[in-house]
Structure 1
Amino acid sequence: MERIYIGMGSNLAAPQQQLHNAIEALAQLPDTTLVGVSAFYQSDSLLPGQPRYTNAVAALDSNLAPLALLDALQAIENDQGRERLVRWGPRTLDLDILLFGDRLIDEPRLKVPHYQMHLRAFVLYPLAELAPATLQLPDKQTLGDLLSACPFVGLERVTQA
């Protein structure tokens, strides 16, 4: 089994409930164990005029192949009403594979590590609750290095409902 980290976000239709539903769905994936879930964090949208996002990270141990996991995550998103109308637009649920073991994946449908995770406090700080600062990404940077370059700005840790 490989340790996989999934970024989760929602800013529509009761975002905290959307994340809770996603966590339940992740726990039901075949050949997969849900190892942990970070606290929930709220942050502003990347685009103006949208509701704030609620974000978290989940850790999985899984035997699923990367594209099989991607398909399963997209099915969970679709089951929760995800519509892909605008890049970075509002969404009921977004599930992103952040890290897949120590793999570097460059497929047309999947890039791992997630291509902008190093810029996003709403990804790095929840990830740091589940992974050690010494976690090394495929490019040899550590999570601690990424955290030191990405201040905890614009985030609010929230109590899960």
Structure 2
Amino acid sequence: MTSPAEKPSSTFPSRLVAVGLGSNIENAEEILRATLKHLAEQHFLELEAISRLRRTRPIGGPAGQLPYMNAVALLRTTLSPQAIWDVLRAVEDRFGRTRETRWGPRSLDLDILLDEAGPVCEDGLYVPHPRLAARRFFLEALAELRPQCWHFWSGLSIGRILNILREAPRWIIVIPETFPGPRAVTSSAAGLTDTAASPTDLTSPPKSANLEEENSFLLRLTVNGPLTALPSDLSLGLPQRLGLEPVDEERVILWWKELEHQLREGQNVATALPPTISTWRGHVRSASSQAAPNVFDSLLAATPPKRDSRANRDSPERGIVLRPRLVILGPLAARWEFWSSDFPTETAASSHSEDGFLHQALLIRVRQGTPVVLVETSDPKEWPDHVRTALEATEEVGTLVS
């Protein structure tokens, strides 16, 4: 295998990197223990801490797989994120890893979950791991070691993300504008059909808000269950849905009541961006003057206004907390570097283009104290499975192995 000594390291100070380990073949526990021993022997990787092993059920992929054995290791290193990834892939190969089927059985799976160096989205490497904020079993293992670790994309600590996954109902927000070429997939009685997006579709957001198509896109993500699409009232304009312009109070109250009703019925709800609550708070957020939001001042977790006694009886105070469990972003969000507090300034300052407006609005909406999951693939046929498995993974804690 490639030696870490051959990898560039001078530009990165010593720091902690969290690595997730998984295996679901018959001798999985032996493989994980051998892998940890092997990592500890590497010259530029210092094994600082190891979580307890957890046995978890397979989520997604072919049926009939064996349970997984999972753990998290904290490594101290000066290697670059790309160099660490290269080392981990070489270790996977050493233990017989094959890459034939997405989410299929594997002898060894090594993922960079977090890196104190910060977010990375380049050359196929995504740090934090795109689905970490939904994988509760890895979050539980991380919390054993460093609950204060920061998830850059969500603006939350690992401990805080866990609390949200434990308390929030099964409601997720999907942001259609972050998925390239929504017209590239159509639904039919036979399921999903790919109609071949153009190269432009794969590299840029829609230039106009075709709300009927966006609604269809949301329905495609929920077809064949287990999610239910909440009517999002996409007759609202894009600025209103993104929370930058006020909307009619009565319309929004009806939206929140419909959401609460679905949750009380025990349904798993997916929705596009909900109507804004800026009208209720008496202020409108401006695309040109918006400062970075306080992650604890959550628009997405807002509850309906207290208008009268009847409205109060219908409010979430009776037991339903209307904080979404996850926000799901598509691959365009990574290309826009949505996690950066700097990127909207340059884009939006030059003009009031729809792109700049959308970029800044997305930053405002996702960094509001809700876990963020990135669907990194540009293959539309894989999007529904990514969305559904993300929600399912939020409840898989795993069983501790003695």
TM-score interval (norm. to shorter): over 0.9
CA distance in 2, matches of 1:154, 1:8: 15
Q: Distance in 1 between matches of 2:81 and 2:122?
A: 10
Q: Distance in 2 between matches of 1:138 and 1:8?
A: 21
Match of 2:102 among 61, 64, 87: 87
Q: What are the residue-to-residue correspondences of 1:3-18 with 2, within 5 Å?
A: 3-18=16-31
Does the aligned pair in 1 maintain the 2:19–2:114 contact within 8 Å?
Answer: yes
Mapping of residues 65-76 of structure 1, within 5 Å? 65-76=80-91
**1:150 aligns to 2:165 (yes or no):** yes
Shift of 1:79: 0.5
Decide which moves more: 22-31 or 78-87. 22-31
Q: Are residue 136 (structure 1) and residue 150 (structure 2) matched?
A: yes
Q: Greater RCO between the two (CA within 8 Å, min separation 6)?
A: 1
Tell me the distance in 1 between the aligned counterparts of 2:397 and 2:112: 23
* Structure 2 residue 43 is the aligned partner of structure 1 residue 30: yes
Please say which of residues 87-96 and 145-154 is displaced more in the overlay. Answer: 145-154
What whole-Å deviation, never above 9, does each CA across 1:50-94 have from its counterpart, x for those lacking one?
Answer: 100000000000011111111110111000000001011100000
AA aligned to 1:34 is L
Structure 1 residue identity aligned to 2:17: I
Residue 109 of structure 1 and its aligned partner are, at CA, apart by 2.1
Equivalent residue for 2:120?
A: 105
Residue of structure 2 in register with 1:119 after alignment: 134
Compare the two structures and name the one with the higher strand fraction: 1
Query: What SS is found at the alignment partner of 2:156?
Result: coil
> Which of 64, 72, 77 is equivalent to 2:92?
77
Counterparts of 2:108 and 2:75 in 1: how far apart (Å)? Answer: 18
User: Identity percentage over the alignment?
Assistant: 35
- Determine the C-alpha separation between the residues in 1 that align with 2:88 and 2:134: 23
Instruction: Give the TM-score taking structure 2 as reference length.
Output: 0.38
CA distance in 2, matches of 1:144, 1:102: 20
Question: Partners of 1:16 and 1:150 in 2: how far apart?
Answer: 27
Q: Secondary structure at the match of 1:149?
A: helix
Residue 121 of structure 1 and its aligned partner are, at CA, apart by 1.4
Q: Which residue of 2 aligns with 1:61?
A: 76
Contact 1:39/1:126, CA 8 A, preserved across alignment: yes
Opposite residue 52 of structure 1, the aligned amino acid is P
CA distance in 2, matches of 1:21, 1:121: 24
> Structure 1-normalised TM-score?
0.92
Which is greater in Rg? 2
- The 1-side partners of 2:107 and 2:66 are apart by 11
| Separation of aligned partners in 1, 2:99 and 2:59 | 16
Aligned AA (1:42): R
Structure 2 gaps, min length 5? 1-13, 167-394
Q: Aligned to 1:150, what secondary structure does the other structure show?
A: helix
CA distance in 2, matches of 1:135, 1:94: 22
Q: CA RMSD in A?
A: 1.3
Deviations 1:107-145 (A, max 9, x none): 12210000101111121111111113x322223211112
Pairwise mapping of residues 41-56 of structure 1 onto structure 2 (< 5 A)?
Answer: 41-47=54-60, 48-56=63-71
2:57–2:396 Cα contact (<8 Å) kept: no
Residue 148 of structure 1: CA displacement? 1.3
* CA shift digits 1:5-54 (9 cap, x unpaired): 00000001400001001101111222221001100001100133210000
CA displacement at 1:153 relative to structure 2: 4.0
- C-alpha change, 1:36 and 1:65, in structure 2 (3 Å) is same
What amino acid does structure 1 have at the position aligned with 2:124?
Answer: R
Which segments of 5 or more consecutive residues in structure 1 lack a partner in the other structure? none
| Inter-CA distance 67–102: structure 2 relative to 1 (3 Å threshold) | closer
| Number of equivalences | 158
